[in-house]
Amino acid sequence: MGDLAITSVMTRESLEESGFSQGDEVTALVKAINVVLVK
């Protein structure tokens, strides 16, 4: 697909529950009414 970096802001509790670790390969599914792009 390409080299894309996506940053996520989440609570520590959500991070711990997710089981993600630094360097994990994941798929991002985006469901949002508003998306803000910052340059």
C-alpha distance from residue 38 to each of 12, 30, 35 (Å): 24, 16, 10
- Taking only the tens place, the pLDDT of each residue in 1-39 is 567 777 778 888 988 898 988 888 888 787 878 877 788
**Average pLDDT score, the chain:** 81
- Does residue 20 contact residue 26 with C-beta atoms inside 8 Å? yes
pLDDT at 17: 92
pLDDT of 13:
92
pLDDT at 1: 57
For the chain, the domains span: 1-38
Which 8-state DSSP code applies to residue 33?
Answer: S
Q: Where are the alpha helices (DSSP H) in 1-39?
A: 12-18
State the pTM of this model.
0.46
